[in-house]
Every structure is written in structure tokens, then in C-alpha cells.
Chain A
Amino acid sequence: MSSKRILHKLLSKTQNPKQLIGGIAGTFIGVLLLSLAVQIYFEYKSLFKEPKNDFGKQYIIINKKISALNTLSGGISAFSADDIEDIKKLPSVQNVGSFTANRFNVLAELSMGNYSPGIRTELFFEAVDDRFIDNLPEDWGWKEGQESIPLILPADFINLYNFTFAPARGLPLISPNTIKMARFKLRLTGGTGLKEYSGRVVGYSQRLNSVLVPKNFMDITNNALSPTTEKEKKGRLIVEIDQSKSGELYKLIKEKNWETNESRLMTSKFAFLLEMILVAVGILGIVILFLAFFSTILYVLLSINKAKYEIDTLLLLGVPRKHIINWYSVNIGIIYTVIIVTSSALVWFIKSMVADYLGKFGFNITAGINPLTIISAVAALSVVWLIQYLSIRKLS
């Protein structure tokens, strides 16, 4: 008879499965919560977060208020060189950039095959230095003579279309990736002529609420189609600041009576709140895990105590201790492996359900579990298992 079977025969009669189930259920819930928190954290990071190198930085877009005066004069209030200098002087400000608008007309055309009239719309572009663009796509950029123009759309654009325009018109919902496949015909007309390009959407910006084209394309085309001797008007500025010291800038904005993208700031506050909730869920998972760990370790120690006669006798007969320690540790290990596999499967299942649901609203969530989710569950249970192993060792 194998040592495992003999031990099973001797030691398992001292077990009480009802008590064990409580510990297993607690461990399972703890691991599941922890895995979900980790998984949601990574999903949320990939959906909303700015790239890694932007950590601790914040981007604020400022413009002067539009008043009735602007409506009459037909021009925007541009920032003066002094205004920009005031902003740059603030110690928290790291960079200031300005948006360049198009001085030509843009007509975009999307043909839908030979039998459909297609969609035609007027558009407007803006350009800004690449350093201010979040999630800069790989195929961003333009060289003179290049016929295809990459565009970046505001991420809200698709939501606006999917949630308001499409349902009202009975049009199909569009996912961000579908739009990327479309090719637009762009007709640019200015005082000196007409140019035709093809446009394609290469990415989406959470930060910038504008249809963006590469800066060099904008400068060259502006000069080619509507040359001007006037100095470029800086109507909107983008300011890169140290997030922790944004107060000074807000003070200045208030003093000068300018406007900011306050709603964006709300988004970032919401993102912060979400992050806090996820951290709380993760910590809750760990707390439950450790409560469950104490209940399992108490259970194991109790059953070792109940099996004291059997264990002592085996040791007195000269049976090496490792057999007994291994029997307990391997069995706990098997239970933990099953817990990790089931909870990962459940996370995967929940995720694909949620991905299907959110996919309808234009969120593009990749399939599968983040390896770090499984790694964190394995790491947490390994620590628990190791502590249990050491206390079993000490006891027998």
C-alpha cells in the first residue's frame, strides 16, 4: 500500500469536511475578489489611463471665454505672448503648446460602394505638437507628398455617435476598430486652390477633444491653401503640469477669467475614485483571503491535533516526519490549485460577458485574462500555503 493511501486511511478519519468547506469557500471568495480587482484594474488602465511616462502629469486645455463681442467681431480672443509667458513662469508648468486650426475648408466623403450615395460632411482639423497627444498611434505622422492623412478622433466622438446619433437615425453602431478600417476622401479648398487626400482614423484621444492631423501637414497645407502674413492666433493652449501642484495654474486661470476643460478634470477625478474603489476591493479580497487562511490553518492544526495519536505513533515507529508534513501540505496545495483554476475560469467568464456587453458601446476590450491576475492569485495563495506549511512543520 502506498504511503499516501495509508496516511489517508489513518489521518482522514480525523477530518471534518463541514468545517473544511467554510475555509475553502472563504479562500475561494478571497481569491476571486483579488483576481477581479487586479483584472479590472488592468482593463481600466488600458481603457482610460494615459501612457506610463505621463505618470503624475496632467494636461489642461485653456481658452479665453467667448463673449458676445467675439460674435460681433467674428474673431477669437487669442492668447498674447505675455499670457503665455505668465503661464510658463509657474513652477508647476512643464510645457505649453498651442493648437493650430485649419484655414481651409474640409469636406470629407465616405463612399459606401456603388449603390449608395455615401456620407459627406464638412470637417475641421486641429494640430498640436505630438508630445501632447496621448496614446500616440504607431502610424502617426506625415511626409510631404504623402497622399494618406492619419487622423486622431476624440474618444467621445464615437460615444456621441453610438449613443445619440445612430439610435435616432436607425444607423448601425460602430466600434472604434470599424472606423479605423474606413478610408475617407478629403477635399481641402482654400483661397489658392484645392487639394485631395485620403484620410483614415489611426487612433483615439482621451485627452484632446478635437480632430487631429499631424502638425507639419497642417502648417504646410495652411500655407499652401491660404497663405497669410498675419501671425498665427493662439486660441487654445494645452498645458502640461505636475499633477500634485496644479493649484497655482487654477489660480491664474481664475484671475485672468479664462476657461478650462473642467469636465476632463472631473473625468480624472472619477478615474481616481475608481482606482481607489479597485484598491479597496483588492484589499478586501486580501483581508477575506487572510481570514479564510486563519480558518483553514486552524482547521489543519485542529485535525493534526485530533490525529495526534496516529502521528506520534508513526514517528515512534520511525516513519520520517516529511511523509506526514507532505500529506497535509500536498492536500492543501491541491485544494488551492483547484481554487486558482476555478476562480481564474470564473474571472475569464465574467470578463467575456462584460466585454460582450461593453463592446456594444464601443469599448474595445481584449479577450483573455491578464497573466498578472493569475500571478497575483498564485502569489497570494503561495504565501498562505508557505505559512501553513511552516506551521504544520513546527507542530508535528
Chain B
Amino acid sequence: MEDSFILNQVKPNPIRIINPESVWNQQIELECGKFYQVISPSGSGKSTLIGILNGYRKDFEGEISFNGKPLKNAGVDEWVSIRNQKISTVYQDLKLFDELTMQENIGILDSFTPHKTEEFPIGEWSSKLKIEEKMDTKARFLSYGQKQRVAIIRALNRNFRWLMLDEPFSHLDSENMEAARLLITEECRRRNAGLIITGLDKRFVQNDFISLII
């Protein structure tokens, strides 16, 4: 299928024990447009999967392909171009720039690519996540929970076929968590994009989420 990932016998290297139900060492297709939640009973390996799907973890065996194209040996530039056009990710450590304001962090792509932030409803999103008054604050002065919400808005502020979030709600209260979950699923449905999310609280798992066990 278009813009789908296929993992063929992928397993991190080295890996100690493989859970028989795990995604490792199997042939798995991650279909664009579907929602996945990553479940890790052992509590590890979630970020490894996000890293492999984003092309910055190379320490694995097996094959990975995207949109029918094998990517095991893809170079930096090829991965950058895929990230640029197809994948938007909220990393576990958020990867915000402390010296830039919230607004500059959200609009970072405007400076380097033809992307235009004004075409996206940043104001609406930030009021939904109750962070609109922090627009001109440097990221270094934000709390971790506020930073998480900035990172989510930055991830939405671009075109993508996949949205990946690595423990995005860890520092949000339940009210903000629900607002963020709603916003994320809404945006992915509207854009018909795939969603991969890790560390999701069981209360928020909906029926339409496919589980990926690590």
C-alpha cells in the first residue's frame, strides 16, 4: 500500500529475549492511515522502533522498506527527505531548541523548506492545548508538560503521512492528555495519515488502535 512500512525480520542488534508475540523478527506491514499503539510489557524497545522507523537507529538486523523502497542502506539525505515529506515525529526527549521561542520552534521548517506555518491553525491548536499565551516564551522557560504540547503542535504543523509519538503525554494532566489525544487522532483522520504512539495510557486506548507488542 502507498506510504506503508514493511518490517521484514527486523530485530534490534543485540537483543536478549524476543517475546513470541513481538513485532521483532516477523514480517509486518504498518499501513498508512491506520492507528497503532506500541505496547512494551518489558518497558524497553519502544524508542528503538521509533528510531528504526525514522532512520536514525541503524543497529538492527533484517529489512525495512517504505512505500516499496528498501531503506536499509539509505543515506542521511534520503532519510531527511522522507522525514521532510512523510513522517512527523514527537521524540521522547522532544528535541526543542531552548534558545528559540515557542513560535520559532513550531515554525522551524519555514526557514528551510517551502512550508508555510500560516496555512495551519496554530492558534486554534494551542488554545485547545491551553498553551497559546506562551507563544513568545523561549522553550527553556517552559515546564516539561508545556514543552510536550509545543512539540505536539510542531509535529502537526507540517504535511505528513505518518505521525509518530514517543511517550507524548508523560507529563500531561488527564485533562490536557485527553485534549491532546483528541487533537492528534482528529488531525490524523482528517489527513488520512497513519499514527504510531507509544506509552499510551490504557484509559485512552480506543477500539481502532492496533497493538504492536515489543
Cβ-defined contact, B109 with A320, below 8 A: no
Cβ-defined contact, B95 with A318, below 8 A: no
Binds B, one of A5-13, A60-68, A213-221, A367-375: A5-13
Please name the residue on chain B nearest to A317 by beta carbon: B108
Chain A residues with CB below 8 A from B112, complex form: 3, 6, 314, 319-320, 323
Give the shortest distance, in Å, between B17 (CB) and chain A (any CB).
30
Q: Does A275 contact B (CB under 8 A)?
A: no
Cβ-defined contact, A1 with B84, below 8 A: no
Q: Does B111 contact A (CB under 8 A)?
A: yes
Specify which of B54, B81, B91, B111 is in contact with A1 (CB 8 Å cutoff).
B111
Cβ-defined contact, B111 with A318, below 8 A: no
Complex Cα–Cα for A6 and B109 (A): 10
Q: Does B99 contact A (CB under 8 A)?
A: yes
Specify which of B97, B100, B104, B109 is in contact with A318 (CB 8 Å cutoff).
B109
Q: Does B80 contact A (CB under 8 A)?
A: yes
Cβ-defined contact, B80 with A315, below 8 A: yes
Cβ-defined contact, B109 with A319, below 8 A: yes
Name 19 interchain pairs, CB-CB below 8 A, sorted by A.
Answer: A1-B104, A1-B111, A2-B111, A5-B111, A6-B108, A6-B112, A312-B56, A316-B54, A316-B95, A317-B83, A317-B109, A318-B81, A318-B158, A319-B80, A319-B108, A319-B113, A320-B80, A320-B84, A320-B113
Q: Does B77 contact A (CB under 8 A)?
A: yes
Give the shortest distance, in Å, between B98 (CB) and chain A (any CB).
10
Chain B residues with CB below 8 A from A396, complex form: 76
Q: Does B22 contact A (CB under 8 A)?
A: no
**Which residues of A in the span 1-41 have a Cβ within 8 Å of any Cβ on B?**
1-3, 5-6, 9-10, 13
Please name the residue on chain A nearest to B96 by beta carbon: A313
Cβ-defined contact, B97 with A310, below 8 A: yes
Give the shortest distance, in Å, between A330 (CB) and chain B (any CB).
15
Complex Cα–Cα for A316 and B87 (A): 10
Chain A interface mostly helix, strand, loop or mixed?
helix
Which chain A residues have a beta carbon within 8 Å of chain B's beta carbons? Answer: 1-3, 5-6, 9-10, 13, 310, 312-321, 323, 396
**Which residues of B in the span 132-175 have a Cβ within 8 Å of any Cβ on A?**
158
Please name the residue on chain A nearest to B83 by beta carbon: A318
Chain B residues with CB below 8 A from A313, complex form: 95, 97
Chain A residues with CB below 8 A from B158, complex form: 318
Chain A residues with CB below 8 A from B97, complex form: 10, 310, 313
Chain B interface mostly helix, strand, loop or mixed?
helix
Complex Cα–Cα for A262 and B76 (A): 70
**Which residues of B in the span 82-102 have a Cβ within 8 Å of any Cβ on A?**
83-85, 87, 89, 91, 95, 97, 99-100
Complex Cα–Cα for A3 and B158 (A): 17
Cβ-defined contact, B83 with A320, below 8 A: no
For the complex with contacts A6-B100, A320-B81, 11 further pairs of A-B residues with Cβ separation under 8 Å are: A9-B100, A10-B99, A312-B56, A314-B108, A314-B112, A316-B56, A316-B91, A317-B95, A318-B109, A319-B80, A319-B84
Chain A residues with CB below 8 A from B80, complex form: 315, 318-321
Cβ-defined contact, A13 with B99, below 8 A: yes
Chain B residues with CB below 8 A from A319, complex form: 80, 84, 108-109, 112-113
Chain A residues with CB below 8 A from B56, complex form: 312, 316
Chain B residues with CB below 8 A from A3, complex form: 111-112
Please name the residue on chain B nearest to A6 by beta carbon: B111
Complex Cα–Cα for A314 and B91 (A): 13
Q: Which 9 A-B pairs have the closest CB atoms?
A: A318-B84, A318-B83, A3-B111, A6-B111, A313-B95, A319-B112, A3-B112, A323-B112, A315-B80
Complex Cα–Cα for A344 and B110 (A): 40
Chain B residues with CB below 8 A from A2, complex form: 111
Chain B residues with CB below 8 A from A317, complex form: 83, 95, 108-109
